[in-house]
Amino acid sequence: MRLGLDQRICLVTGSTAGIGLETARLLAEEGARVVVTGRQEAGVKRAREEVGAALGVACDLADSAAPGELIARVERELGPVECLVNNVGVAYQRSFEELEDADWDELWQLNVLSYVRAIRAVVPAMREQGFGRIVNVSSTAGKRPSGGMPDYSVTKAAVLSLSRLVADLYAGEGILCNAVTPGPTASPAWLAPGGLADQAAARSGKSRDDVLASVGKGRPLGRLAEPEEIAAVIVFLCSDRASYVTGAAWSADGGTVPIII
């Protein structure tokens, strides 16, 4: 099944590993001209070569000016962004009581405001073309907050609200906006040294392997997602096949959140 993505200019933030990298890979396989991003130049270079991306840009999207500068560069070098995937984000295991204002602000800047700023930057050209696809990566924690990641949960709930807002504002101009809510995924966020599995193990006194086994068993499917399973949903929402889908929050969580919305 062809998805109508050939030659589309698709920007994926946070695309040097995990869900973002697999999304960039699938988009490129569909013939899209993909832009990959990350904080480290070396990681961006590696991802660009691995994916066959048209452009790679190293930038820190928590910087208030960075999203606009990124979009402007893509427009100069390739043309207007037609598909924007807001995937960049960070999460930590920590309790509500230990969080300080700076902790909340760190996650808010990257997990929410980078999305707002990137959307604000792509909308003018999308409106002019009468076409756009925006997919925001949220989380099951946005639908059912995690007591172990309170600040992350709140930011991901905000992403759901943002996605619905943008969908309502611009549907009549051909711009479709949706969110995806992955469950725990076998990506560096969970598996890398010092990642969420190690953090949870340190806090609980369990082994890393026990933590991962428990997290997997907490899904009806009995395992963590693979990054490409989430990427497949994102790429579909970018495609012409999803031409009547907007304002949705697509669960890709192995049945984790037991609701039908």
pLDDT digits (tens, 9 = 90+) for 145-156: 999 999 999 999
**Residue 2, pLDDT above cutoff 90:** no
Residue 58 lies in a domain: yes
Provide the number of structural domains found in the chain: 1
Q: What is the mean pLDDT of residues 102-121?
A: 98
Confidence category of residue 244, pLDDT binned at 50, 70, 90: very high
Work out the average pLDDT over 37-44.
Answer: 98
Q: Which residues are within 8 A (CB) of 87 and not within 5 positions of it... i.e. 6 or more apart?
A: 12, 13, 14, 15, 19, 20, 23, 137, 234
Q: Which residue has the tokens 């002019």?
A: 128
> For the domain that residue 130 is a member of, what is the CATH number?
3.40.50.720
- Look at 260 and 100; give whichever has higher pLDDT: 100
Instruction: Please indicate, yes or no, if residue 126 is contained in any of the structural domains.
Output: yes
Distance between CA atoms of residues 25 and 147, nearest Å? 33
For residue 222, the model assigns a pLDDT of 94
CA distances from residue 181 to 27, 108, 116, 155, 254 in whole angstroms, order as listed:
19, 18, 18, 13, 11
**213 domain-assigned:** no
Q: How far is the C-alpha of 87 from the C-alpha of 148, rounded, in Å? A: 21
199 domain-assigned: no
Domain that holds residue 54: 9-183+225-252
Q: Please write the tens of the pLDDT for every residue from 207-238.
A: 999 999 999 999 999 999 999 999 999 999 99
Give the whole-angstrom CA distance, residue 238 versus residue 112. Answer: 20
35: closest CA among 71, 89, 88?
71
- Look at residue 174 in the predicted model and tell me its pLDDT: 98
Per-residue burial over 190-227, b = 16 or more CB atoms within 10 Å of its CB, e = otherwise = bbeeebbbbbbbeeeeeebeebbeebbeebeeeebbeb
Q: Is residue 63 part of a domain?
A: yes
- pLDDT for res 261: 62
Alpha-carbon span 187 to 17, nearest angstrom:
7
- Among all residues, which ones are annotated catalytic? 152
Measure Cα distances from 121 to 8, 68, 118, 182, 242 in Å: 17, 6, 5, 25, 23
- Residue 33 pLDDT > 90: yes
211 in a structural domain = no
The answer to whether residue 203 is domain-embedded is no
Q: Which two tokens stand for residue 100?
A: 């300080």
What pLDDT shows up at residue 259?
A: 76
Residue 37 β-bridge partners: 57
The per-residue pLDDT for 120 is 98
**Please, which residues have CB within 8 angstroms of residue 60's CB and are 6 or more apart in sequence?**
39, 66
Residue 196 domain flag: no
